[in-house]
């Protein structure tokens, strides 16, 4: 038994990624995955860059944040009958070649969710020491989620704290999980738009609010 590529829906939140999103999406489509792009009210021509590609395109009328975009994409894919979901960044830092390994780990370990991480042994990344410190606040970078688990993962943290919220929901609902080393490559574009130290502090604040008021 194996998970075939056409069984997997890749959910891609997108906000002002016109310069990179087409390349990111094309690489994923070339591997035979279903792609759902959730445009979080981009102000550039991101939508135009996707013209002609065989994907599902959704758009928020207002900017709601990455967590909200992921939830929109997962709910849409579930309505399409999807059984497996992968979250993926639009900026090209993730490697879609990691997905088969995550699927294999899911089946082997009978996991409900597989966390991909750039910090595990075996991962490859050109991350700097300072950025690594900030990103450890939100350690996991993407996920492979089974259809069963997706029913329990109702993301309410619209912004970047959704990564930690998902981990909390996994624990709360006693879902089984595994980890898989991801390959992450930064370029000048991703470095300019990525998390700053102040963003890491904001995530900590959002996490504390979530734990206090949930």
Coil/strand/helix, residue 201? helix
d(CA 92, CA 89): 7
* Model pLDDT, residue 101: 95
* Model pLDDT, residue 169: 87
d(CA 120, CA 143): 14
Kindly report whether the global pTM for this prediction surpasses the value 0.85. Answer: no
Task: Retrieve residue 161's tokens.
Answer: 């704290």
The per-residue pLDDT of the chain, averaged, comes to 82
88 pLDDT higher than 70: yes
Total length of the chain: 214
Q: Residue 33 contacts by C-beta under 8 Å, 6 or more apart in sequence?
A: 5, 6, 8, 9, 10, 86, 96, 99
* CATH number for the domain harbouring residue 159: 3.90.550.10
144 pLDDT higher than 60: yes
* Model pLDDT, residue 187: 64
Task: Retrieve residue 148's tokens.
Answer: 């069963």
Task: Retrieve residue 134's tokens.
Answer: 């900030």
Q: What is the pLDDT of residues 92-143, one digit of tens each?
A: 888 999 999 999 999 999 999 999 876 655 555 545 544 444 444 444 567 8
Q: What is the pLDDT of residues 22-69, one digit of tens each?
A: 999 999 999 999 999 999 999 999 999 999 999 999 999 999 999 899
8-state DSSP, 32: T
Residues 153-180: what's their mean pLDDT?
A: 82
Domain range for 145: 5-213
d(CA 123, CA 36): 26
d(CA 78, CA 35): 13
Q: Is 199 exposed, middle or buried (0-12, 13-18, 19+ CB in 10 A)?
A: middle
Q: How many domains does the chain have?
A: 1
For a pLDDT cut of 90, what percent of the chain falls above it? 53
* Model pLDDT, residue 126: 46
């Amino acid at each position: 038994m194996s998970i075939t590529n056409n069984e997997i829906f890749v959910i891609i939140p997108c906000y002002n990624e016109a310069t990179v999103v087409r390349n990111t999406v094309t690489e994923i489509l070339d591997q035979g995955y279903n792609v759902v792009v959730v445009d979080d009210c981009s102000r550039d021509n991101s939508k135009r860059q996707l013209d002609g590609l065989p994907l599902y395109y959704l758009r928020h009328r207002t900017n709601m944040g990455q967590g909200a975009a992921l939830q929109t994409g997962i709910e849409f894919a579930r309505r399409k009958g999807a059984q497996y979901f992968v979250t993926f960044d639009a900026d090209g830092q993730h490697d879609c070649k990691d997905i088969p390994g995550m699927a294999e780990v899911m089946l082997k370990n009978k996991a409900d969710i597989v966390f991909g991480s750039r910090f595990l042994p075996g991962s490859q990344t050109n991350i700097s020491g300072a950025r690594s410190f900030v990103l450890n606040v939100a350690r996991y970078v993407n996920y492979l989620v089974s259809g069963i688990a997706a029913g329990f993962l109702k993301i309410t943290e619209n912004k970047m704290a959704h990564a930690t919220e998902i981990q909390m929901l996994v624990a709360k609902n006693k879902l089984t999980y595994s980890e898989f080393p991801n390959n992450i490559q930064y370029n000048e574009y991703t470095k300019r738009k990525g998390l700053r130290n102040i963003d890491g502090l904001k995530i900590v604040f959002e996490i504390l609010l979530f734990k206090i008021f949930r």
